[in-house]
Every structure is written in C-alpha cells, then in structure tokens.
Amino acid sequence: MIDILKNRKTIRKYTNQAIEEDVLIDILEAGVRASTTGNMQVYSIVVTKDDAMKEKLAPCHFNQPMVKQAPVTLTFCADFNRFNLWCQQNNAEPGYDNFLSFVTAAIDALLVAQNVCVAAESKGLGICYLGTTTYMADKIIDVLKLPNGVVPITTVTLGYPDEDPAQIDRLPLEAVLHQETYKDYTQEQISKLYATKESLEENIAFVKENGKETLAQVFTDVRYKKADNEHFSKQLLGVLKAQGFM
C-alpha cells in the first residue's frame, strides 16, 4: 500500500471509460472514513458527471481541460449548513458563523478529499487536484448552487489514466522536516535543498520558455503573481463573508 502512495503521479488525461457507480461509491465510502472534527462531518462533496454541468464548471477552473475530459469531477466543500440545520431543528443554537468554523470545515473537507484520492488510486484511477477552486469560489458557488454555510475548498478530477507521465520531483525530505523545533534555513541550505530541482532539464527548459533568469522567477512573475494572489485573497475573503463565515 505504501508503494501506491510513493509511486503516485497526477494524471491529467483520462480514457473515455466511465467510472462504474459501485467503484465510485466504494471510493467515497472509504473517503468519509477520514478523521473529522468531533465526528461532525462538516463537509459536502458535489459530483459532476453531466456534460452540461462540466461546460459550466470548466471556466471556474480557467478551462483546464481535465474538467470536461474527466468522467467525474468532485468538488469538496467546507459545509456547516447541514450541521446548522440539524442543530436548529433540535433546539440547539449553532455558533458556527465564524472564521474558526470555516477552517474546521475546510480541514474536514481536505482530509476527506485526500482519502478519496488514495482510495481512487488504489482502484487504478488517476486523479488531479484543481487549485483554482479557492480562486474562483464565488463562481463555483453559483454553478453548484451552494447555500450559506458552504464554501468549495478543492476540486479533484478522476478517471482511468490515458497517460503515464514520469514522476515529478520533490525536495529532499529534510527540506520539509524539522526535529523538535523549526530550524530556519541558511542561504547555503536553501541552495543545496533546491539544487536538484533547479538542475532538472524540464525546469531549465521552463525558465527559458518563460524568458526568465531563474526558476523562482517563473513562480513569482508568471505562475503565482503577487497581484493575482492579492486579487483572489480579496475575493476569497468576500466569499467567506457572503457564505456566513466572517
């Protein structure tokens, strides 16, 4: 089992084979066994299979082709709506219209998402996370008709793999690991920890393609720009307010 985790790759191209309903249910049943705060299960999963819905969802993910191509897209949402309704009809006054409760629900949703992904991969499916979810949460709320108390936090496309890409690099484990307390990094350590990544052929090509001097500039100037991050931060905080979490 640990080898499935170690050898995994993100899959962005899928065959046109549908995911059998019993396989999907099996994966989701395994997924919801993830830990959840106080066993409240403050999350929901919206399943997209319908072509018309894929058409509507795709622009929310900057038209990344996986949304239309994958047989199934799952949107994982922080969800206190169901729990609040249960409280209200049981003579209990919910106090979950605040930032901590959003974070609690988001954590719940993300642990389930990853559990679903591991379950899917163990069944031979390929998955891809769409980070665009938090950028375009307002649009996704419209398309999926998410009520107050519900915020989409991540999206996963899944299907049977139609590609077998090379496994992508990771930093050496020591880069992300701290023993007992956080040891801040010296310049030398940073250089050493990122040396392999910077020397990879595909990354050197990536720097050239983007007309940049360093790999880090591809991130700051092209892929994840300050202005975009600030714009989407405002949007996301607005969404939390609109959905009743601020």
Which of the residues 102 through 161 are near a copy of itself (CB under 8 A)? 103-104, 106-107, 110-111, 113-115, 117-119, 122-123, 127-129, 131, 134-135, 143-147, 150, 153-154
Interface with a copy of itself (CB under 8 A), residue from 16, 21, 89, 124: 89
Q: Which is nearer to a copy of itself, 114 or 162 (CB)?
A: 114
Give the residue from 133, 131, 102, 129 showing the smallest Cα distance to 37. 102
Neighbours of 67 (CB within 10 A): 24
Neighbours of 4 (CB within 10 A): 10
What span, in angstroms and rounded, lies between the C-alpha atoms of 84 and 93?
A: 8
Spell 157-188 as b/e; 16+ CB within 10 A means b. Answer: bbbbbeeeeeeeeeeeeeeeeeeeeeeeeeee
Residue 175 C-beta: closest distance to a copy of itself, Å: 7
- The contact pattern for a copy of itself, residues 16-35, with x = CB under 8 A and - = no contact, is ---------xxxxxxxxxxx
Residue 3 C-beta: closest distance to a copy of itself, Å: 8
Q: Which is nearer to a copy of itself, 16 or 176 (CB)?
A: 176
- The contact pattern for a copy of itself, residues 49-88, with x = CB under 8 A and - = no contact, is xx--x-----------------------x-x-xxx-xxx-
| Maximum Cα interatomic distance, the chain, rounded to a whole number of Å | 63
CB under 8 A: which stretch of 14-22, 38-46, 64-72, 158-166 binds a copy of itself?
A: 38-46
Compute the C-alpha angle 227/233/237, nearest 5°: 155
Give 185-233 as a DSSP string.
PPHHHHHHHHHHHHH-HHHHHHHHHTT-SSHHHIIIIIIS-HHHHHHHH
Q: Which is nearer to a copy of itself, 70 or 143 (CB)?
A: 143
Exposed, middle or buried: residue 206 (CB in 10 Å: 0-12, 13-18, 19+)?
A: middle
Interface with a copy of itself (CB under 8 A), residue from 18, 100, 204, 205: 100
Q: Which is nearer to a copy of itself, 162 or 221 (CB)?
A: 221
Residues numbered 163 to 222 that lie near a copy of itself (CB under 8 A) are 168-171, 173, 175-182, 184-185, 187, 190-191, 193-194, 213-217, 219-221
Residue 14 C-beta: closest distance to a copy of itself, Å: 16
Count of residues that bind a copy of itself according to CB under 8 A: 120
Locate 101 and state its tokens.
Answer: 């409760």
